[in-house]
Amino acid sequence: MKTKKEELDYVLAFTEIYQSESDIYLREAKCLQWQTPQILVPLEKDDLVAGRMQHRFVGFSPQYGGLYTYFFHEDKVEEALSGLKGELSEEYVTKMKEITAFWEEEKTLNRLNKRFHEMGYSIGAGYHEPGISNSEGRLAGTTVDLDKLITLGLDGLKAEICAKAKENQQAKNFYQALLMTVDTIADACNYYEKQAQTLYALTKKESLFKMAEALHSIQTRAPQSFLEGIQLLWVYAMISDLMNYGRMDVALGDLYVKDIDVKGIDEESVIAILESVYRHMLRVHKIHDSRVIIGGKGRRNEQNADRFAMTIMETSRRVKEVVPQLTLRYYTGMDEAVFDKALAVNAEGCTYPIIYSDDTNIPAVMQVYGVSEKEAERYLPFGCGEYVLEGASVGTPNNGVNLLKALEITLHNGYDPYWKKQLGLKTGEPDSFKDFEDLWKAYQRQLRPSVEKPAIHKRLNYDVAAEQAGYLQISLLMDDCISRGKGILNGGVRYENASSEVFGMISAADSLTAIKKLVFDEKRYTLKELVEVLDSNFEGREDVRQELLVAPKYGNDDDYADEIACRVFKNIADLTIEAGKMVGLNHYNMVSVNNSMSAEWGDICMASACGRKAGAPMANANSASIGADKNGITALLNSMSKFDNNVHVGVINNVRFTKELFASSYEKVKAVLRTFYENGGVQTNIGVVGRDDLENAMKTPEKYQNLLVRIGGFSARFVELSPIIQNEILLRTTYGS
């Protein structure tokens, strides 16, 4: 723990460095050079791989959640100042006040918000605020080419930078800054090398000796062993706030195989090293990120990568933690043993690996991003499930769109009955819609501005960041930055993409389906009557709710409901694409994922025509409304396969099986999943739970500490979730025999 005074001194020094340099690249490199050794957290004797960090009151972060580029925590500075009242000189206090005022103007998030407001816009920053959509400032999810880092090593990277610098004199500041950044990485290795030596002297633990050796070696030459490889990867990732770790099987597969086959190192010691890295990831605790990808097409070293993938899966099986979000890319013809292992790990209730289908996704990514097959093979889901192209694109999601809220506002002529405010356009009273198409048009009109506004915000999010920073740590390992001599957001990255998170898709679709069926087809109620019933939260009209519940629902392979779901899906996808074009992003696409917002945004939605009560969770990502999938797992998967995969950059399909089914009918479960992946299925989050486990866990949580569940875009310990989300999970359909 640093003292308050130490923290304030740090702020002072960081600010002086920032203010002393005007070139954005050199300034960032200098800031990183100062910041990096100061955010490192000392080694612990049981670490097998070194690397922990803790951000301070001020700093630079490429993509740590909530810390957007240059950040400054005025609240913490304020608190430290008042805590030290009387102990600081007047001059010092005045200086700190000046610094606070400086960062008030200078910190990236404030610059972004100011610019956005100057353009006449405002948008909710948090989620629990009025509106159909929201936005926040950040860069997130960029997945760099870690294979290049391991293959070239730090010296190799420097050689490449120097060679390019000779050709491109105009960008000399950028190259110089990159070289400084490489040195900063080496310095971090050196910091831990010294610590490992000291701790070794004290403890004589052999692992510390080996660690020191590895840390020494990687400061210059490319890694020669698995330990060196993973150590370099981790130090780089940790100081760069890299929250997603890409195709680790490719980057480290060759070193792994060499260690096992040539050096005779045993599997167990590799697992022990991986477990140490898993502990670091757990401490970072970015449960919505921390993707590790294995498998898939387009790997240069498929056999070696597969062998290492087996070991990674075994580690996840043993560790049973919420991170890393281990993700396997499936493809027809892949090694059967790898697929079997993936299902075996899932069968133990690990929720991992999440399985993605290359058969479905590579052709879709070619379409959606307009890239070659070779480039599409580099698609990687990060975070809750958004795609980026490894080393070739950014794809930050920093906004959400609540489709159920859009429908709710449409049904109230632009008025939000929860916040009791006119929030949208006046698109017509319920009794003015003469048919379903009229209602649909109003819904579309209501939605469009709520999609465009975040796109404008997104454009600014990149532009404002680019004015201040080159994102050197990230640019270092992105394909075109070195050859172009530019930072990722300054024209360096090949594809400047972004994504928009969509929530309440299925709740909105099922609501529209029920309205179409009961109001417009069967004329059982007028829309006005129905809206009144919804506004009263079905008070005294449970019969209406029951009728709504038995109306066709997505998830049953029922074309009536699925066609509307596909229409809602395609519509928001197209609106997002159009908004992206409008603001000049390469590609701006929607994702239907979940980060628990389906529950939290459900909280501020009135009762809906899908039969959902006011405040109840919305359906999660592309999963069925809670308990509405009643026609068997194949019907659910068929519904999930109907969406147009050429218009989105990630969806989440939660499917849950009983342990009994997985054990007694393994081959059939496997056939079902395989068939889904080979016939248009994007991915599955597989949950495997015992029939009574969830209920028992709510009663006696202390006995179920290890019960992992998939929320949609992340995994969590069931017993640590809020009761609202626990209930949502409890009520989801579990497929048995």
Partner 1 sequence: MAAEGIVFDIQKFCVHDGPGIRTAVFLKGCMMNCIWCHNPESIRRNPELAFESQKCISCQACAAACKQGVHHFDAAGNHEVNFEKCAACQACIHVCPTRCLKIFGEKMNAHAVIKEVLKDQKYFKSSGGGVTFTGGEPTVQYDFLLEMMKVAKENNLHVCLETNGIIFSEKLSHLMSYTDLFLIDYKATGEIHKILTGVEESFVRQTIDSIHKAGGKMILRCPIVEGLNDSEEHFAQIRKFKSQYSSILNVEIMAYHASGLHKWESLGIDYSLKKMASATPEMKKYWEAKIAE
SS3 string, 506-519, reads: HHHHHHHHHHHHHH
Q: How far is the CB of 215 from partner 1 (least distance, A)?
A: 49
Nearer to partner 1, 289 or 557 (CB): 557
Q: How far is the CB of 664 from partner 1 (least distance, A)?
A: 8
Nearer to partner 1, 497 or 658 (CB): 658
- The CA–CA distances, whole Å, from 214 to 26, 188, 226, 430 equal 30, 13, 10, 69
Q: How far is the CB of 661 from partner 1 (least distance, A)?
A: 7
Q: How far is the CB of 478 from partner 1 (least distance, A)?
A: 40
Q: Which of 286, 350, 283 has its CA nearest to residue 314?
A: 350
Q: Which of 341, 393, 294 has its CA nearest to residue 649?
A: 393
Q: Which of 577, 618, 580, 612 has its CA nearest to residue 599?
A: 618
Cis peptide before 430 (omega within 30 of 0): no
Judged by CB under 8 A, the residue of 203, 303, 367, 634 near partner 1 is 634
Judged by CB under 8 A, the residue of 633, 649, 686, 688 near partner 1 is 633
Nearer to partner 1, 367 or 679 (CB): 679
Q: Are 327 and 321 in contact (CB under 8 A)?
A: no
For strand 325-330 and strand 291-295, is the pairing parallel, antiparallel, or unpaired? parallel
Burial class (CB in 10 A: 0-12, 13-18, 19+), 697: buried
**DSSP count for the chain of H helices, then E strands:** 29, 18
**Region from 5-13, 158-166, 201-209, 626-634 binding partner 1, contact rule CB under 8 A:** 626-634
Q: How far is the CB of 659 from partner 1 (least distance, A)?
A: 15
Q: How far apart are CA 725 and CA 707, in angstroms?
A: 14
Q: Which of 248, 236, 232 has its CA nearest to residue 353?
A: 248
Nearer to partner 1, 156 or 632 (CB): 632
- The CA–CA distances, whole Å, from 147 to 115, 229, 365 equal 38, 10, 22
Nearer to partner 1, 14 or 525 (CB): 525
Site residues for partner 1, 655-674, by CB under 8 A, read 661, 664-665, 667-668, 671-672, 674
Nearer to partner 1, 526 or 634 (CB): 634
Q: How far is the CB of 655 from partner 1 (least distance, A)?
A: 11
Q: How far is the CB of 341 from partner 1 (least distance, A)?
A: 20
Cis peptide before 363 (omega within 30 of 0): no
Nearer to partner 1, 401 or 544 (CB): 544
Nearer to partner 1, 386 or 547 (CB): 547
Q: How far is the CB of 74 from partner 1 (least distance, A)?
A: 55
Site residues for partner 1, 675-734, by CB under 8 A, read 675, 678-679
Q: Are 490 and 474 in contact (CB under 8 A)?
A: no
- The string of DSSP letters for 208-257 reads HHHHHHHHHHTTTSPP-SHHHHHHHHHHHHHHTT-----BHHHHHHHHHH
Site residues for partner 1, 501-560, by CB under 8 A, read 542-543, 545-547, 550, 557
Q: How far apart are CA 427 and CA 232, in angstroms?
A: 57
Judged by CB under 8 A, the residue of 224, 269, 537, 631 near partner 1 is 631
∠ Cα 698 699 702 (to 5°) = 85
Nearer to partner 1, 432 or 737 (CB): 737
Q: Where are the beta strands (DSSP E) in 299-445?
A: 325-330, 354-357, 379-382, 386-389, 393-402, 415-416, 421-422
Q: How far is the CB of 360 from partner 1 (least distance, A)?
A: 13
Q: How far apart are CA 24 and CA 408, in angstroms?
A: 46
Nearer to partner 1, 254 or 557 (CB): 557
- C-alpha torsion 72→18→233→322, nearest 10: 0
Q: How many residues does the chain have?
A: 737
Judged by CB under 8 A, the residue of 332, 367, 646, 737 near partner 1 is 737
Q: How far is the CB of 540 from partner 1 (least distance, A)?
A: 9
Site residues for partner 1, 635-654, by CB under 8 A, read 635, 638
How many residues touch partner 1 (CB under 8 A)?
Answer: 26
Nearer to partner 1, 72 or 331 (CB): 331
Nearer to partner 1, 62 or 552 (CB): 552
Nearer to partner 1, 32 or 672 (CB): 672
Q: How far is the CB of 638 from partner 1 (least distance, A)?
A: 6
Q: How far is the CB of 354 from partner 1 (least distance, A)?
A: 21
Q: Are 533 and 612 in contact (CB under 8 A)?
A: no
Q: How far apart are CA 376 and CA 615, in angstroms?
A: 40
Q: Are 176 and 432 in contact (CB under 8 A)?
A: no
∠ Cα 683 494 712 (to 5°) = 20
Q: Where are the alpha helices (DSSP H) in 391-500?
A: 403-410, 436-468, 472-475, 481-484
Nearer to partner 1, 413 or 631 (CB): 631
By rule CB under 8 A, what string of x and - marks binding of each residue 387-416 to partner 1?
------------------------------
Nearer to partner 1, 198 or 675 (CB): 675
Q: How far is the CB of 48 from partner 1 (least distance, A)?
A: 43
**Region from 275-283, 313-321, 565-573, 627-635 binding partner 1, contact rule CB under 8 A:** 627-635
**Region from 333-341, 398-406, 563-571, 632-640 binding partner 1, contact rule CB under 8 A:** 632-640
DSSP 735: B
Q: How far is the CB of 667 from partner 1 (least distance, A)?
A: 7
Q: How far is the CB of 668 from partner 1 (least distance, A)?
A: 5
Judged by CB under 8 A, the residue of 65, 156, 632, 701 near partner 1 is 632
Q: Binding residues for partner 1, per CB under 8 A?
A: 542-543, 545-547, 550, 557, 631-635, 638, 661, 664-665, 667-668, 671-672, 674-675, 678-679, 735, 737
